[in-house]
Structure 1
C-alpha cells in the first residue's frame, strides 16, 4: 500500500493505474490459460500486484480533482462502488465457474482489464493539470519521511489498525461460524446476516462522507460511529436469546456504524500537504491491512486454543465462551481505536476551511 502511495504521488495515478490494470489483465489471462499450478500461481500473483494499486490511486485522484469539501463524499462513493461491484459480480462468476467455464471467465476478465488500462491512460487526470505544486520534481524518500514524521497522521493510522480492522475481521471470516455454532442458525441464514452487514456498510458509506463534508467535521462522526460499534460488540457478548429480527438489525447497525472509519482516509489526507495525498492515505490503508492480518489469526488462535476436539462434517466446533473471548478482543480494539480518535485533530485544510478549487 505505501509503495503505491509513493508511486501515485511521484508518477501520477494515470501511469500507476494503467500499469496495474495491464499487469492484472495479463495475470488473469495467464491464470485462465495456465497449463500447470506454477503458471497459475504466477498469474494470481500478477493479478494481486495489479489490483492492489487501484484504491489508493482512486483516493489520489479524488484529492486532486475535488475540493476539500467533497473528498469524503468521493471516497464514500468509491467504497460504495467497490462493495456493490463485489456483490454483483459474485453470483454470475460463481455460476460460470460451476458450469465449467472458469478458464474463459478469467481470460475474458483479463481482456477487460487491458481495455480498462487503455481507458485509464486516456481519461485518468494527471495531478499537474489541477495543481501546479504537483508538477515540481519530488524526492520521494524525503516526502515519505516527512509524511511519516507528521504527528497528526498517526492517531488515524492507529485507529484504523485497531477499530478499523475489527469489522472486516469478523464479518469476512468469523461471523458465519459464530452465528451457526453459537446462535444455532443455518449457514444460509448466517450468510444472509453478513450480506446485510455488507449492504448496510456500502449504502451508509455514501451518507457518512456526504454528512462529514457538509458539516465540515470528521472527528464527531468518527467517534460516534466507533462508539456504536463498541455497543454492537457488547450485544454479541450477551448470553441471551436473539430473535432473527434483532440479529438482522444488529448486523445492519454494525455495518452502518463501521463506515465511520472510512473518514480516517480524509483525516490523513487533511493532515498532510495535498501533493502527498497518496502517501498519507496509503499509510492509513496499510494500517487496516496490518490490523486485519493480525486480528484474523489471533481470533482463530483463541478458538483453536479452547477447542475440545468436537467436530461435525469435518468442521471444528468451538464453545460460545471461546467465541466470546475472540469478540472481546474486537471490543478492546474498538475501544482503543475510539481513544485514538479523540487524539485526531481537525485540520485547517479540512472541509471546514476548504480551498476554493471546484471539481
Structure 2
C-alpha cells in the first residue's frame, strides 16, 4: 500500500464497520433522553435511574481489555458481527421490559455489545491505513459515532412521544440485528493482498503477557489517563444526567434541553476531524492540547457550578461547546496506544486505554445519582463529583506524561527508533524508573 493512501476497498470496510459503532452510540446514549420516561415506566428515583447507566458503562469498561484480546485473537470482523447481534438483542429486550430488573438486564446486554465495537473499528483502521493517518481516522470514527448520538436526542424524543417506548426500541433493535449480515459479508480483517493470519489456539499465558506488556508500556498508561480525564464529563451529560440537569436543575422545557444536548454532537463532529488532522501532522502537540483542554474544562465547571440562580442559555451553549471537545481530545489516548505498541498488541492496548474514560464515567454517574438522592436533587452539589474526578485524572495524566517522555529519551539513548521525537525540557528526568508502579 503506497504511503499516505488506502484502496477504496479499505474505505468501504471502514464505512461498514463504523456504522456498527454509530448504532452502538445510539443505543448507549438513548437514555440521555429516555431516562425520565424510564423512571416513569419502571417507577424508580434518581439513584436507581443512575444504576442503568452505571451498569451499562461498567460492563463496557470491564469488557475493554477482554475485547482488545478478542480482537487481536479472532479479528475485528467476527467481533463486530457479534456486537451487532448482541446490541440488537439488548434493545429488543429493553423494548419489552416492564420491570426494573429486566430493564437492568437489557442495559447490561447493551453494554456488552457496545463494548465490542470501538476497539474493533480502530483495529481495522490500524490494519488498513498508514500509521500517520490513524489519528485522523480515529477522529472520523468518533465523529461518525456522534451521528448516533444525534439520532438519540431530538429524533428519539419525538419517537418516544409518538409511537412510544415499545415500538421505538423494538424497531431499532431489529434494524441492528439485521445489520450483522452485511458486517459478516463485507468486513475483512486485512487489506487486499495481505493474507489473514492463522488463528493459533488460545494460550492463557500468552494473553496475560499481552495485557501485561500493554499495561507496562508508559505510552499506553499515558493514553489511559488522557482518556480518563477528557471524555467522562461530556459522556456523563449525554448518557444520563444532562437532560435531568437542564430540566429539573435549570427549569428548561424537555424539548429545549434535548436541543441543547445536540451541542455535544455537533461540537464533537466538527472538532474531532479538525483535532485529528492537527495531531496527525504535529504529534508532539498531542499532550499539550490535552492539558489546554483540561485547564479550560476546570474553568467551565467553575462557572457552571458557581453561577447564582438559573444559568442562561447564552452561557450554557458555549460551556457545552467547549466541554464537547473532551470527546475528540480523548482520541489522543488511542493514538498513543497505536504509536507505542506493536500492531499485534494494538487491540489489547486500545482496550486498556478505552477503560479509562468509561471507568471515570461509571464512577461519576454513580456519584451524581447518590449525591442527588442525598441532597434532595441539588445539582450544584452533585456535579462536584465531576470536578473531583477531573482533578484526579489530570494529576495522573501529568505523572504519566513525564514517565512516557522519560521512556522516549531512554530509547533514543539506546539508539532505538521512537514514534515521536521530543525536545528535552528542564523538568524532564530521563533517569526516572519509568516502569515503576503509579
Q: What TM-score comes out, normalization by structure 1 length?
A: 0.79
2: CA distance, partners of 1:252 / 1:31: 31
Q: 1:160 aligns with which of 207, 227, 232?
A: 227
Paired residues of 1:128 and 1:134 also in contact (CA < 8 A) = no
Partner of 1:263: 332
Question: Bigger CA drift: 32-41 or 255-264?
Answer: 32-41
Q: How does 1:28-107 map to 2 (within 5 A)?
A: 28-29=91-92, 45-100=108-163, 103-107=166-170
Partner of 1:313: none
Partner of 1:312: none
1: CA distance, partners of 2:267 / 2:319: 11
For residues 186 and 60 of structure 1, do their structure 2 counterparts lie closer, same or farther at Cα, with a shift above 3 Å needed? same
2: CA distance, partners of 1:54 / 1:327: 26
Question: Bigger CA drift: 142-151 or 266-275?
Answer: 142-151
2: CA distance, partners of 1:190 / 1:90: 9
Partner of 1:216: 283
For residues 341 and 83 of structure 1, do their structure 2 counterparts lie closer, same or farther at Cα, with a shift above 3 Å needed? farther
2: CA distance, partners of 1:176 / 1:167: 12
Superposition deviation, residue 57 in structure 1 = 0.5
2: CA distance, partners of 1:189 / 1:324: 21
Q: Deviations over 1:18-71 (max 9, x none)?
A: 122233344545665789998877666544433321111011111111111111
2:208 equivalent to 1:141: yes
Paired residues of 1:227 and 1:338 also in contact (CA < 8 A) = no
Give the length in aligned residue pairs: 343
User: What CA RMSD, in Å, does the superposition of the two structures yield over aligned residues?
Assistant: 3.6
Superposition deviation, residue 335 in structure 1 = 3.5
1: CA distance, partners of 2:248 / 2:373: 14
Q: 2:341 aligns with which of 249, 252, 272?
A: 272
Superposition deviation, residue 258 in structure 1 = 4.7
2: CA distance, partners of 1:339 / 1:178: 31
Superposition deviation, residue 239 in structure 1 = 4.0
Paired residues of 1:303 and 1:326 also in contact (CA < 8 A) = no
Q: Deviations over 1:141-169 (max 9, x none)?
A: 32222212323311221332344323323
For residues 341 and 81 of structure 1, do their structure 2 counterparts lie closer, same or farther at Cα, with a shift above 3 Å needed? farther
Partner of 2:39: none
Partner of 1:234: 302
Is the partner of 2:402 in helix, strand or coil? coil
For residues 133 and 334 of structure 1, do their structure 2 counterparts lie closer, same or farther at Cα, with a shift above 3 Å needed? same
Partner of 2:425: none
Paired residues of 1:19 and 1:50 also in contact (CA < 8 A) = yes
2: CA distance, partners of 1:100 / 1:188: 17
Paired residues of 1:164 and 1:337 also in contact (CA < 8 A) = no
2:73 equivalent to 1:6: no
For residues 39 and 328 of structure 1, do their structure 2 counterparts lie closer, same or farther at Cα, with a shift above 3 Å needed? closer
Q: What TM-score comes out, normalization by structure 2 length?
A: 0.66
1: CA distance, partners of 2:323 / 2:106: 36
Paired residues of 1:229 and 1:334 also in contact (CA < 8 A) = no
Superposition deviation, residue 12 in structure 1 = 0.3
1: CA distance, partners of 2:313 / 2:97: 45
Partner of 2:16: none
Paired residues of 1:73 and 1:213 also in contact (CA < 8 A) = yes
For residues 58 and 344 of structure 1, do their structure 2 counterparts lie closer, same or farther at Cα, with a shift above 3 Å needed? farther
Partner of 1:291: 360
1: CA distance, partners of 2:191 / 2:305: 52
2:315 equivalent to 1:252: no
Question: Bigger CA drift: 254-263 or 26-35?
Answer: 26-35
Partner of 1:193: 260
Superposition deviation, residue 10 in structure 1 = 0.5
2: CA distance, partners of 1:69 / 1:125: 21
2: CA distance, partners of 1:36 / 1:257: 35
Partner of 1:343: 402
What 5-or-longer segments of structure 2 have no aligned partner? 1-63, 409-416, 423-438
